[in-house]
Structure 1
Amino acid sequence: MDNKSSVQARFVQIKSALLDKIERGDMCPGDKVLSENKLAASFGVSRMTARRALSELVVEGILARSQGVGTFVSDSRPMSSILEIRSIDDEIIQRGHRYSNKVLGVHTIHASERQSVWLGVSANSLVFHTKVVHMENELVIQLEDRLVNPALAPQYIEQDFIHTTANHYLSKVAPLTQADHSVEAISPNKELADILEIDITQPCLKISRRTYSSKGIVSYARLYHPGNRYRIGGHLDFHPSN
């Protein structure tokens, strides 16, 4: 390996090590990163090589520099609005990132008593159940666990969810008129942690969302996000009343 290639490999090594720590949650938004000198000493490289690694992560929005203070992990997690409902693939593509997914299951099941309450159907009724993992730049950011009322979307189960999302399809056949949802932090069990590709000690965001069309409840979805890769927010405008 020539000297130029060797420098390139060491610079990539530093970037990868920092990214791994951030993805694992060992370094969180606001945490200070080692200085160029300390990184250089730690990896046995020149200060210029360490500086290049940090500078590229700053340009990519992973790190943020504060003049005279240091370099910190930025809050670069994707953010979705809690105030609107959009298809997750549209959100990811709008950020300029790559969207992909993995379908874990597409089934017709008999609704349990709890599931029947969620969908507003009779217990033991047949309902559709899908589980899809959504990824951004090959990183898992959501497990979508969704129940759908067949009376309002009878062809739902026949869709190819590799090439369309539940949100896209349902918005066409049963346009949204209202929704209610809740957000909570949870600790994942092993199955969920494995699906989200996180350590079982990492917290998750769980969004429970029920959507309605003009004819009734269309779907009930539980959306699970790795807490260290995702955030939600919103903006409200308030106007004084006359």
Structure 2
Amino acid sequence: MAEESRPLALHARIEREVEDRILSGEWPPGTRIPFEHELTAHYGCSRMTVNKALSQLVKKGLIERRRKSGSYVRQPEVLSAVMEIHQLEREVRALGLAYAFRLIEATERSAGEADRKRLLLSAPAAVMHIRGIHSAGSRPFCLEDRLISLEEVPQARAADFSKYPPGSWLLEQVPWSAAEHRINAVGAGRAEAELLDLREGAPCLVIARRTWNASGSITQVNLTYPGDMHTLVAEFSPSGRAG
């Protein structure tokens, strides 16, 4: 019998069906998985079979077991290198979750004082202001608030950011030579809390990034993540100096 047509062992079937419910968003983070005795009754199998399936899901990082409480869908967590520019879609798909982007607004305007400060512009200029929500499964993953310099990237006027998330589009369209990251912990304001499905004041991580090339600033973006969904990682070597 071909490998593809062999029936799954029951523990593998249980594992796959629970995993499918998690990755589809049917069981979002925090959902309690049915107790082992409930799964045993549902599948008509031994508790050992159910335990084997759940143990594999723990190893995959999809669920966590809490003593005397049961098993729960884990909160997805992204590990990002501080000095790299990642595409949010890749971050989400690396978690095994469905990715989506919802454009809130994309408007052209003359740069005001706050815009010029964000992009470090010394003269009046036109900018594109973009806001959107990136989702992982059924949950908001990141709020993007971006300015693009139309002096440096005039083709942004014709881009359809409802189909192409701006970060991915920029990486493919515009060469950059340098970037700066600033990282802050903040409490979610009313607007951010509503968009990210958080309580007002909930902890968030904000990555403020500016990229530029020899002719000037390209873009500045503030990426706001729920505080429990993102971890930053920096790798470095000894410099030869103590401290």
TM-score by length of 2: 0.70
Number of the residue aligned with 2:183: 183
1:145 corresponds in structure 2 to 145
Aligned counterpart, 1:228: 228
Q: 1:96 to 1:57 in 2, by over 3 A?
A: closer
Given that 1:111 and 1:123 are in contact with CA atoms closer than 8 Å, whether structure 2 keeps it comes out as no
- The alpha carbon displacement at 1:201 in A equals 4.0
How many residues of Structure 1 are paired with residues of Structure 2 in the alignment?
212
- Structure 2 residues without counterparts, runs of 5 or longer: 1-13
- State the match for 2:11 in structure 1: none
3-state SS of 1:104 partner: strand
Q: 2:80 aligned with 1:80, yes or no?
A: yes
Could you tell me which runs of 5 or more consecutive residues in structure 1 were left unpaired when the two chains were aligned: 1-7, 24-32
1:9-88 matched pairs, under 5 angstroms: 22=30, 48=47, 55=55, 57-63=57-63, 76-88=76-88
Instruction: Please state whether the residue corresponding to 1:85 is helix, strand or coil.
Output: coil
CA contact (8 A) 2:149 2:218 kept: yes
Q: How does 1:106-117 map to 2 (within 5 A)?
A: 106-117=106-117
The answer on whether the counterparts of 1:63 and 1:73 sit within 8 Å (CA) in structure 2 is yes
Distance 1:64 1:80, change over 3 A: same
Alpha carbon RMSD of aligned pairs, Å? 3.7
Deviation at 1:63, TM superposition (A): 4.2
Taking only the aligned residue pairs, the percentage that are identical comes to 25
8 Å contact from structure 2 (residues 99, 134) kept in 1: yes
Please state whether the residue corresponding to 2:168 is helix, strand or coil: helix
- Letter in structure 2 aligned against 1:156: A
Letter in 1 for 2:126: L
Indicate if the aligned counterparts of 1:107 and 1:157 stay in contact, CA closer than 8 A: no
Give the Cα–Cα distance (whole angstroms) in 2 for the partners of residues 170 and 72 of structure 1. 38
Stretch deviating more after TM superposition (113-122 or 173-182) = 113-122
- 2:141/2:226 contact within 8 Å kept: yes
**More off after superposition, 168-177 vs 203-212:** 168-177
Distance (whole Å) between structure 1 residues aligned to residue 56 and residue 174 of structure 2: 45
The answer to whether the 8 A contact 1:87-1:165 is kept is no
When structure 1 is superposed on structure 2, of 133-142 and 114-123 the one drifting more is 114-123
Distance 1:158 1:189, change over 3 A: same
Q: 1:91 is matched by which residue type in structure 2?
A: E
Q: Matched residues in 1 for 2:94 and 2:111: separation?
A: 36
Output the amino acid matched with 2:153. A
Aligned to 1:159: 159
Partner of 1:127: 127
Spell out, residue by residue over 1:148-195, the C-alpha distance to the aligned partner (whole angstroms, 9 max, x if none).
Answer: 110110011321223323223223443121111111111111210111
Q: CA deviation at 1:108?
A: 0.5
Counterpart position of 1:206: 206
Distance 1:55 1:113 in 2: 55
Are the equivalent residues in 1 in contact too, given 2:29–2:74 (CA < 8 A)? no
Give the 3-state SS of the residue equivalent to 1:114 in structure 2: helix
Question: Partners in 2 of 1:117 and 1:60 — Cα distance?
Answer: 44
Q: SS at the partner of 2:115? A: helix
Question: Is the alpha carbon distance of 1:95 and 1:151 closer, same or farther for their aligned partners in structure 2, counting shifts above 3 Å?
Answer: same
Q: 1:156 to 1:194 in 2, by over 3 A?
A: same
Q: Which amino acid aligns with 1:200?
A: E
